[in-house]
Amino acid sequence: MKRWMRWAIPVLAVALVGGFVARALSARKHEQAALAAAAAKPPPALELSAGDLLVLHPQPFTRTLAVSGGLKAVNSAVVKAKVAAEVKSLAVREGDSVRAGQVIGQLDTTEVEWRLRQAEQNAAAARGQLDIARRTLENNKALVAQGFISATGLETSVANEASAQANHGAAMAAVELARKSRADAQLVAPISGIVSQRAAQPGERVAVDSRLVEVVDLSRIEMEAAVAPEDVGSVQVGQAASLQVDGLATPAAARVVRINPSTQSGTRAVMVYLELQPQAGLRQGLFARGAIELDRRTALAVPANAVHVDQARPYVLRVAEGRVEQRPVTLGGRSSSAAEPDGLVELTAGVADGDTVLRGTVGAVRAGTAVRVTGATGAMSAAAVPAPSAVGR
């Protein structure tokens, strides 16, 4: 091999490797330049409709307290068996209306009649013993006056007469108890209302205090609501409430009538009683939920779903100068709203009158995102969007 070829081959190989390296570096440089240009280009603006924005203005705000519980009749009564006997008749069933004092059933009085007869016979015997003791006492008084018997014998007669009189009184009391048992065998409705439960059937023998019939008066219905100790201080007797009762299409009006002075064991909750206005369809045992109106004032408020709580402090997404920013806020009271299923939340700090925030329906939006409001006339400034009626002026 010639001498010059020995040097030419390595030089040619080095030149080829250098060319490939230079080409790779150039391609990488162009790629980095393209990425830098893409990064420098602003991302497309997020398009929003006018309904996605809320312009805050002071508005009438009703602070409410959410409550729930079961309905219960204010007046209810249970007819129980006052004597152990067989149920002879029971004339009412569930859903029947009854009046106070109405006879609704009868217990068998056979045993009661025999006990009454026995008590009367015992009373008659005690009356005879009393008559004998009185005649003996009168005779002994005459004999003592004539000196035929001593005063000690007279004292014995006095004691015998007193004992006979006591025995007669006890026998008469037994007669009265037997008569009362006979009267108790007749079942009478204690209040006017509707039969809600029938717990016995004719022919069944029942014990004393066995439940036979339950009667409820639906003219007055209450809801028992458990309120947390930190909230019960804001509840006062007479405050109005609106309740949605299961099975009823329209809300029921109510008011606070009583507050339990003691807490519930275990939960430490306080029972609050709300009386509902008479309305068709109210039944004992139905479940109701609603809110007590605590006070009314003017405040800035937004739908509850517009407040984000995924950070240490709650915040809203405020639109300013065409971009989204996170604004930490301080929350106040809550209020129910027919237009907002989740209700309204009062904002006491962090926003001002005229600020524009995103509704919760927009979802999660990163801070700094550019926004563009589209409408009938094209792009609009976010500050110029009118406030929706739900939280408007």
In-domain check, residue 12: no
Domain span including residue 104:
75-198
Same domain, 274 and 289: yes
Write the DSSP assignment of 190-238 as a string of letters: SSSEEEEEE---TT-EE-TT-EEEEEEEEEEEEEEEEE-HHHHTT--TT
Higher-pLDDT residue of 204, 380: 204
Same domain, 285 and 328: no
Encoded tokens for 43: 């991302």
Same domain, 81 and 183: yes
In-domain check, residue 209: no
Same domain, 87 and 157: yes
Please give the mean pLDDT across all residues of the chain.
Answer: 82
Higher-pLDDT residue of 16, 100: 100
Q: Which of 25-29, 49-53, 88-92 has the highest mean pLDDT?
A: 88-92
Same domain, 171 and 90: yes
Same domain, 281 and 172: no
In-domain check, residue 370: yes
In-domain check, residue 2: no
Same domain, 259 and 324: no
In-domain check, residue 6: no
Q: Cα–Cα distance between 150 and 152 in angstroms, integer? A: 5
Q: Name the band, by pLDDT with cuts 50, 70 and 90, for residue 149.
A: confident
**C-alpha of 210 from chain center:** 31
Same domain, 117 and 153: yes
Q: What is the CATH number of the domain that holds 154?
A: 1.10.287.470
Query: pLDDT tens digits, residue range 292-335?
Result: 888 888 888 888 888 888 888 888 888 888 888 888 888 887 77
Same domain, 51 and 110: no
pLDDT score recorded for residue 186: 93
Q: Provide the number of structural domains found in the chain.
A: 3
pLDDT score recorded for residue 45: 66
In-domain check, residue 24: no
Write the DSSP assignment of 307-360 as a string of letters: SB-SSSS-EEEEEETTEEEEEE-EEEEEE--SS-TT-EEEEEES--TT-EEE-G
| Backbone conformation region of residue 55, classed left if phi is above 0, alpha if psi is from -120 to 50, else beta | beta
- Last residue of one domain, picked from the residues 246, 270, 294: 294
**C-alpha of 129 from chain center:** 66
Same domain, 82 and 190: yes
